[in-house]
Chain A
C-alpha cells in the first residue's frame, strides 16, 4: 500500500517536471524559429509617440550607486519636457537623499521625495506607492538604484504603449558585473535563460510576459485604478503582472531595451535575494492562482502558462520530493515505469530555479547572444539548483510559519550595492 502511494506521488512529481521541461522546449523552439525568420529588432522608432513619462527610483541606503543612475538619467534621449524622475528616498540612513537633492537642484526634471523613519521603510511597494502619488506622467517606469539604462531606453519601452490594450512593458536586465566571480556569472546565465529565451518566447507565443518591477513600466491610470501596488506582497512586480492580466490588459516584452544591473556577488546575498523572490512568488500564487483559473479575460494557453509561472518556485521543492520518494522506491524495489521516469529527475537539476529554464534553453539563449565562454559554466547549474532547492524549501516553510503565527511579511529585504562596478561600463 505504501509503495503504491509513493509511486503515485512520484508519478505526479515527475509529470509536473516533464510538463515544465516540455514548456521550455517549446519556448526554445519558438525563439529559434523567430530568430531565423526576423532580423534583429530595430532600435529606431517607427512611430512618433511621446507621452509624458515618470521614472520612479525607490532607494534606501543607495549612496554608492544612486549618483551613477541619476547622472545617466540626465543623458536620456527622451524629451526633457515630457520626462519626470522621482527619487523616493525611503528613510535612508546614508547620503542617498543628499546626492539626489544635489541632482534635483541642477536638473529641473529630477525630484526627490523624502520619507522619514515614521512614514518610510515599509518595503519597496510602499515606496513605489508614495512615488506614484507624486508622479504626473501618463506612463510610469521603475528603475532600481543600481541600474544603468541605455540612453534611448525610454523610447524603446514607451513605443509598446501605442497599443491601448497594453498595460505594462518589460525591458531586459543585463548583468553588469558578470566577470566578477562565479556567482555573478551564474546569475548572468539565469538572466540569459529568463529574458533572452523565456520572456521572448512568451511574447512570441502570446502567453504571459512578466513585469519584473524594474526596467519596465505601466500606465499610471491602470495602476491607480487598482489602488497602487499591494503593500502586503513581497514581490509586488509579480502581483502587478497578474493584476494587469486579470483586468484584461496585456504586458509586452521589449528585448531590445537593455538595462545593466549589479548582480549579487556572493552566495549569502544570493540566498537572501532568492529567498525573498521565492517567498513572494509563493505568496502571489496563493493570491492569484484561483483567479487565473476562473478568469474570463485569459485564454486557455495563457491560463496554463500563468499557472505554471505562478507555481515556478514550488518546482525545486517538488524536485526534492521526487528525489526522496524516488530513492525510497528504489530501496523498496521499483517498477519499470518508475525506472523510465527516474531519468527525468536529473534533467531538472541542470535547470534554473527562478524560471525552470533547463540547460538546453540557457545554452541556446547564450548562443543567440553570441556568447561562447559562458557556455562552459552550464554544467555548474547543478550546484546552483541544489542551493535553490534549500532556498525554496525554506521560503515555503517560512511562508507557512508566518501564516500560522500571523507574522508581518514585508520589509526592505534589499540587496546591498557597492557601485564599484563602473569599470564594466565602457562607454
Chain B
C-alpha cells in the first residue's frame, strides 16, 4: 500500500515538472523553457546519483521547476511593463541581462538542494591528524 502511494507521489512530481515545461513554452518564452531543460538535465543526471530518497529529490526537482516558471513569468512581466514605459530600448537591455538573471535561480536552487541532501552537517574545515 505504502509502495503504491509512494509511486503516485513520484508520478505527481514528474507531472508537475512536465506541466511547468509546457507552461513555460506556451505562456512565457523559449529561453525560459531551455533554462528549465538545462536545470532538469543537471538535476536528474547529477543530483539523482546522490544519497537520499527518490521522492525527496523529485520534490526538489518539481519545486525547482515551479520556482523557475514563476521567476521567468515575473521577468516576462517586467519586460512587458518595461517596454511599455521605456520603449523598445528596454527590450535590448532585457535580452542582454535576462540569461544572467535567469541563472540566478538555477544556481541558488542548486546549492539549496545540495544543502538539503548533504548527509552530515559539517560547517567548516576539520584538521585531521
On A, residues with C-beta under 8 Å from B are 28-29, 32-33, 36, 148, 150-151, 174-176, 178-179, 188, 258, 260, 326-327, 330-331, 334, 339-340, 342-343, 345-347, 349-350, 359-360, 363-364, 366-367, 369-373, 375-379, 381-382, 424-427
Contacts and interface: CB of A to CB of B under 8 A. Distances in A.
Given A343-B34, A370-B120, A378 B49 contact: no
Nearest to A256: B128
30 contacts: A29-B49, A33-B49, A174-B125, A178-B124, A178-B125, A258-B128, A327-B96, A340-B34, A343-B35, A343-B38, A343-B99, A347-B38, A349-B103, A350-B103, A359-B107, A359-B111, A360-B42, A363-B110, A364-B50, A367-B50, A367-B114, A370-B121, A371-B118, A371-B122, A371-B123, A373-B123, A379-B107, A381-B107, A427-B127, A427-B128
Given A28-B46, A32-B50, A427-B129, A375 B124 contact: no
Contacts of B129: 150-151, 427
Contacts of A373: 115, 123
The 5 closest A-B pairs by CB, nearest first: A378-B111, A375-B111, A346-B100, A370-B122, A370-B120
A342 to B, nearest CB: 6
A40 to B, nearest CB: 12
Nearest to A359: B107
B102 interface: yes
A261 to B, nearest CB: 10
Contacts of A371: 118, 122-123
Nearest to A75: B129
B115 to A, nearest CB: 5
Contacts of B46: 28-29, 32, 360, 364
Contact of A375 (B114, B126, B128): B114
B119 interface: yes
A363 B114 contact: yes
Contacts of A258: 128
B45 interface: yes
A377 B112 CA distance: 10
A331 B89 CA distance: 10
A343 to B, nearest CB: 5
Given A350-B103, A425-B127, 8 more contacts: A36-B49, A331-B92, A371-B122, A373-B123, A375-B118, A379-B104, A379-B111, A382-B107
Contacts of A350: 103, 107
Contact of A363 (B35, B92, B111, B122): B111
A260 B34 contact: no
Nearest to B91: A330
Nearest to B121: A372
A364 B96 CA distance: 29
A148 B127 contact: yes
| Most chain A beta carbons < 10 A, residue from B42, B121, B128 | B128
Contacts of A367: 50, 114, 117-118
A346 B99 contact: yes
B95 interface: yes
Main secondary structure of the interface of A (DSSP, over half): helix
B88 to A, nearest CB: 12
Contacts of B119: 370
Nearest to B94: A330
B15 interface: no
Nearest to B34: A343
Contacts of A381: 107
Contact of A150 (B38, B100, B121, B128): B128
B114 A426 contact: no
B110 A376 contact: no
Contacts of A326: 96
Interface string B73-101: 00000000000000000001001100110
A179 B124 CA distance: 7
A357 B45 CA distance: 17
B114 A345 contact: no
A53 B20 CA distance: 60
Contact of A372 (B30, B102, B115): B115
B74 to A, nearest CB: 17
A34 to B, nearest CB: 11
A367 B118 CA distance: 6
B61 to A, nearest CB: 14
A121 to B, nearest CB: 33
Contact of B127 (A176, A339, A360, A375): A176
A41 to B, nearest CB: 12
A375 B120 CA distance: 13
Contact of B95 (A330, A346, A349): A330
B39 to A, nearest CB: 10
A403 B129 CA distance: 46
